[in-house]
A and B are shown apart, each in its own frame.
Chain A
Amino acid sequence: MQGLVNLVNDLALAMAWLLPMACYIAAWIAFLTGTWGLWQQRQPQNPFVGRPWVPWIGIVLSGVFATFDRILTKSTTSAGLDTQVALGASVTGYTDAATGSVISGTGPEDAILSIVSNFALFFEMFGAWAAFMAVVAWNASATGKTNRSKLSCLIQFVFGVILLNPVKEATWILSHWTTSG
């Protein structure tokens, strides 16, 4: 179990380093394709006939990618999760929720919460990546590169945001099975 926690959190740290890089690349690609779309609209082979707003979506989404951590923070605030997402230039360790055995405690709730806390960073990074891929897919859907519906992209983004505070959600779910009352 200890090894699994270490491995999963190390994978989460890898995802934490790679996501800003992906956001940076996605930002300039969205800007480049969006602005190129504006130029294409002046060409005879304009691919956005009847949809003049599509290139503008790319330009705005470049800003979304460039500040994706702030977008996630705003989303968690809207969802009531109150998770602050930020970027740091150093390796972020993770602290274990349980100082003793997770089996000990006042009941099974404590054990489950400790386990969720130990894997929280992975949940959060998975959620952030899911939300990022949802925005990428939404942009691809708007430009006609994929047939995915925009609603499915929105649902994926929402589920990604939901994962950004797993401890709070686990606490809420477990409150329905509390042993104290």
Chain B
Amino acid sequence: MNLSRTGTTSAARLTRLVTQRAGYRQRAVTALGTLAVPILIASHALAQSATGSANGIGAQMQATAQEGLTAGGFVAAACMYVAAFICFIGGVWAAWQSRNEQNRSPGKVGMAIAGIVLCGLFATGPQWINKAANTASGGSATVGTQAQAYQFTSGG
């Protein structure tokens, strides 16, 4: 920390800062103007025949997306497997509890039914996501474990 400047008054420091900022602005304008000159002269440098590179960042992301989809698919399958297992065990246990004298209650019966039904829902997760896709958009799911890219066609 430079303690030699602590004695400077606030007004003086402010003036110096403002002067510095104005100086930077002038230099920035000059630099931008210098840069603009070649652009104005060589107008043909503005974006001609641009084509996507097959070896660029965009293309590389295809491999990345494929890795993500493969990993995501395995994780999804594992999560749904475990969730189906938990729901089944939980549902059967609730059914068992509902038949015990000390725990008999309507809530346990509902939990048992929900657990067994949701077990089936988790075990067939992809089909239900597809059904949800039909409900939401009127068509089957378009994403899968194959990497795909968005494409736009403008109608004008």
The one of A28, A42, A88, A167 in contact with B111, judged by C-beta atoms closer than 8 angstroms, is A42
**Contacting residues, chain A, for B154 (C-beta < 8 A):** 81-84, 165, 167-168
Q: Of the 9-residue stretches B4-12, B15-23, B24-32, B39-47, which lies at the interface with chain A?
A: B39-47
| Cα of A95 to Cα of B48 in the assembled complex, Å | 10
Of A56-64, A144-152, A153-161, A173-181, the one with at least 4 CB within 8 A of chain B: A56-64
A70 to B107 alpha-carbon distance, docked (Å): 41
Distance from B32 Cβ to chain A, minimum over Cβ atoms (Å): 14
Which A residue sits closest to B49, measured CB to CB? Answer: A96
How far, in whole Å, are A24 and B133 apart by their CA atoms in the complex? 12
Q: Within A14-33, which residues are at the interface with B (CB < 8 Å)?
A: 14-21, 23-25, 27-28, 31-32
CA distance A3 to B39 in the complex (A): 13
A35/B118 in contact, CB under 8 A: yes
Residue of chain B at shortest CB distance from A83: B154
Q: Is A93 in the interface zone, CB < 8 Å from B?
A: yes
Docked Cα-Cα span, A20 to B69, in Å, equals 9
Cβ of B56 under 8 Å from chain A: yes
Q: Which of B69, B111, B136 contacts A63 (CB 8 A)?
A: B136
Contact among B43, B118, B122 with A101 in the assembled complex (CB-CB below 8 Å): B43
Question: Which of the listed residues B115, B141, B145 has the most CB atoms from chain A within 10 Å of its own CB?
Answer: B141
Write the chain B residue with the least CB distance to A76: B155
Q: Say which size band chain A's interface belongs to.
A: 35 or more
A20-B58 CB under 8 A given contacts A9-B52, A36-B83, A93-B52? no
Cβ < 8 Å to A, chain B residues 120-138: 121-122, 125, 128-138
Partner pick for A92 among B76, B129, B147, B151, CB 8 A cutoff: B151
B48 close to A98 (CB less than 8 A): yes
- Compute how far the CA of A5 lies from the CA of B153 in the bound complex, rounded to whole angstroms: 19
| B51 pairs with A18, CB closer than 8 A | no
A138 to chain B, nearest CB (A): 13
Query: CB-CB contacts of A125-147 with B at 8 A, as 1s and 0s?
Result: 10010000000000000000000
Q: Cβ of A54 < 8 Å from any Cβ of B?
A: no
Complex: how many Å from CA A88 to CA B128?
24
Interface centre among B47, B48, B125 (most CB of A within 10 A): B47
Minimum CB–CB distance for A5 against chain B, Å: 4
Is B136 a contact partner of A67 (Cβ separation < 8 A)? yes
Given known contacts A31-B132, A62-B132, is B47 in contact with A96 (CB within 8 Å)?
A: yes
CB distance from B86 to the nearest CB of A (A): 8
Interface residues of A in 74-122 (CB under 8 A from B): 74, 81-96, 98-104, 114-115, 118, 120-121
Interface set of A (CB-CB < 8 Å, partner B) = 1-2, 5-6, 9-21, 23-25, 27-28, 31-32, 35-36, 38-39, 41-43, 59-71, 74, 81-96, 98-104, 114-115, 118, 120-121, 124-125, 128, 164-165, 167-168
Given contacts A28-B76, A91-B54, 16 further A-B contacts (CB under 8 A): A2-B48, A16-B58, A17-B148, A21-B68, A21-B72, A24-B143, A32-B80, A35-B125, A39-B114, A59-B132, A61-B136, A68-B142, A70-B139, A81-B154, A82-B156, A91-B62
